[in-house]
Structure 1
Amino acid sequence: MVEERRATLKDVAAASGVSRATVSFVLNDTPNQTISEVTRTRVLRVVRELGYKPHGIARALREGSSRIVVLFIESGLEGNYSRSYIRGLDEELAAHDHVLVVRHGPTGPAAAEQVLGAINPRAVLRFGEAYRTGHGPEDSGGDGLAAYTGLQLGFLAERGHTVIALALPDDAPLGEVRRTFARRAADALGLPPLRDLTVPWDRAAATAAVEAFRRAEPAVTAIAAHDDDVALRVVTGLHDLGLRVPGDCAVIGFDDNEYGALFTPPLTTVHIDAEGHGRVAARTVLGLPGDDVAPASAQVLTRQTV
């Protein structure tokens, strides 16, 4: 199937019998230009007939400061949530003729200066700030990381688990933030202090860590994981040790990566509408109302590991 060629500014100008500059003046409603109403009407009619749409990226780069939004993502925060968030942010900005530029890696002053020295964006967002600010434990009934952590632990508590571990990867950049929210949520639920479990990436090392943890904390009946990747390594480690999930130990993931549903047993997890969060962020940056793109409430997807 041959893809239909996209109409260009040159096509509109040729069909209208005017210059490309005139077409641009009409489309941008440029002030101080003496363009007759007849010409303006003809150009707009041709635009509709050809289905011409301005190229958002070209316009953003040309205008520089008005149509570019930069998102910094700190090393170690790449994952399902960030990917979904970027998708929502990007699609919503594009729908309003803006362009998203994503910078992965260091987010310090030097990195920011390097990017901002090349372009003058409309706004700069830092992904990690959503974890550090505006998501306090007082939001347990609302939106944010603290609330989602409370939802995860509350699900275990409702099923009779009281001695619970929080499983974190050994390289979590915001692990202490997550640990703080989890401990506060446990206090609010009347649970004893959470046990800490660090899970390496390597399968053999992860299994060894789970085995050592089981020996040191035999009273733990459930493990709440930092995300689904960590949860699946815990489930694999328990399986390698000949233990049953959830019979010997329950496991709940976080930030549904969809792979957990394909696992045996399928992973119970917390699903978060990250794409919706990205859309709301885009509307906020653009100064537009976001009621119609409000994210769905987080929910626990009950499968077979709890």
Structure 2
Amino acid sequence: MAEVRRATLKDVAAASGVSRATVSFVLNDTPNQTISEATRARILQAVRDLGYKPHGIAKALREGASRIVVLQIESGLEGNYSRSYLRGLDAELADHGHVLVVRHGPAGQVLDAINPRAVLSLGEPYRTGRELDDTGGGWRDGLAAHVALQIRHLAENGHRSMALALPATDAPLGEVRLRFAQEAAASLGLPPLRSVVIPRQREAGVAALREFRAVSSAVTAVAAHDDDVALRVLAGLRDLGVSVPGECAVIGFDDTEYGALFAPALTTVRIDAEAHGRLSARRVLGLDLGDVTPVPARVISRQTV
């Protein structure tokens, strides 16, 4: 089926027999313009007939700081959380006539070019553990609560000696993840967690796990930094002939689509952040937070725990 072409300002001008500038004056309600009521009515009728909708991004670029919000996403934060957060943030901004610009990595010169109303960093609230102004340090609906859910699920399945698997590169949230995991373990009366770094290359990951298990044989469960690290752990344990979950349980974090495709299918923590995105949008726009309520994080139980 052929794609229906979007009506343009030029189309509206042609249909109403006026210049594009006149159409723009009418649509923007520009003051001090001598445009007759008959002409104004003709333009508005053409807008309705053609189904014309102003291009939001172009309008935002013209108006600068009043209509653009920039979201910076750091490397290593891509996943279900960022995708659902983006959906909510974008939808809420659009509902209030604003445009979202997403930048992976530092925004740099982009900020000078578009003069945004606000700049958000996806990882910053989570890093501090104060997601959504959670005065409990993130223990209600922030990273701390979600890490605790991961550790508690392992404990409820009989595991006492656990490890936290981290990526080899500097993870944006690695240090705070380990701290929250240790606090969660302590609150459950568990011994301190060991940590193991899992390189991206398969052979190096297998070697790291072999070395780790040689000195940490009591560990019966691994909580991974994210699903990507969890899948590397599963692959490494399989190469070492370690049964999962028989000899060692593994739980991921942030529920990517790949975990369900692995054998055994990965148990993980799912965080639906769409409401977080909507709340962030309302905050930067200075709006009432209303009745938006985040969906509690939950464990997706599969086969590795």
TM above 0.5: yes
Residue aligned with 2:65, SS: coil
Q: Does 1:249 align with 2:244?
A: no
Q: Which residue of 1 aligns with 2:57?
A: 57
| Alpha-carbon distance in 2 for matches of 1:55, 1:237 | 50
Offset, 1:238: 1.1
Q: For 1:19-34, list aligned pairs within 5 A.
A: 19-34=19-34
1:137/1:269 CA distance change after superposition, 3 Å = farther
Q: For 1:86-101, list aligned pairs within 5 A.
A: 86-101=86-101
Moved more, 158-167 or 87-96: 87-96
Q: Given residue 220 of structure 1, which amino acid in structure 2 is its aligned partner?
A: V
Q: For 1:1-306, list aligned pairs within 5 A.
A: 1-105=1-105, 107=106, 112=108, 114-133=109-128, 134-135=130-131, 138=136, 142-171=140-169, 172-291=171-290, 294-306=293-305
1:159/1:137 CA distance change after superposition, 3 Å = farther
Q: Given residue 124 of structure 2, which amino acid in structure 1 is its aligned partner?
A: E
Q: Given residue 208 of structure 2, which amino acid in structure 1 is its aligned partner?
A: A
CA contact (8 A) 2:79 2:255 kept: no
Offset, 1:145: 0.8
Where has structure 1 moved over 6 Å in runs of 4 or more? none
Moved more, 256-265 or 74-83: 74-83
Residue aligned with 1:138, SS: coil
Q: Percent identity?
A: 71
Moved more, 9-18 or 252-261: 9-18
| Alpha-carbon distance in 1 for matches of 2:290, 2:235 | 41
CA contact (8 A) 1:167 1:225 kept: yes
| TM-score, scaled relative to structure 2 | 0.90
Offset, 1:168: 0.7
Where does the alignment leave 5 or more consecutive residues of structure 2 unmatched?
Answer: none
1:29/1:190 CA distance change after superposition, 3 Å = farther
Residue aligned with 2:150, SS: helix
C-alpha distance after superposition, 1:18-74 (max 9, x if no partner)? 332222222222233344444333322221221100011211222222222112223
Q: CA RMSD in A?
A: 2.2
CA contact (8 A) 2:159 2:221 kept: yes
Offset, 1:263: 0.7
Moved more, 287-296 or 184-193: 287-296
Moved more, 73-82 or 258-267: 73-82
| Alpha-carbon distance in 2 for matches of 1:210, 1:100 | 42
C-alpha distance after superposition, 1:199-232 (max 9, x if no partner)? 1111111111111111111111111110001111
CA contact (8 A) 2:80 2:256 kept: yes
Offset, 1:101: 2.3
Where does the alignment leave 5 or more consecutive residues of structure 1 unmatched?
Answer: none
C-alpha distance after superposition, 1:75-109 (max 9, x if no partner)? 3334443344334433443444433222323x4xx
| Alpha-carbon distance in 2 for matches of 1:253, 1:14 | 57
Residue aligned with 1:64, SS: helix
CA contact (8 A) 1:137 1:146 kept: no
Residue aligned with 1:190, SS: coil
| Alpha-carbon distance in 1 for matches of 2:90, 2:161 | 41
Task: State the number of aligned residues.
Answer: 301
| TM-score, scaled relative to structure 1 | 0.89
| Alpha-carbon distance in 1 for matches of 2:22, 2:228 | 55
| Alpha-carbon distance in 2 for matches of 1:288, 1:12 | 34
| Alpha-carbon distance in 1 for matches of 2:257, 2:7 | 39
Residue aligned with 1:72, SS: strand
CA contact (8 A) 2:80 2:271 kept: no
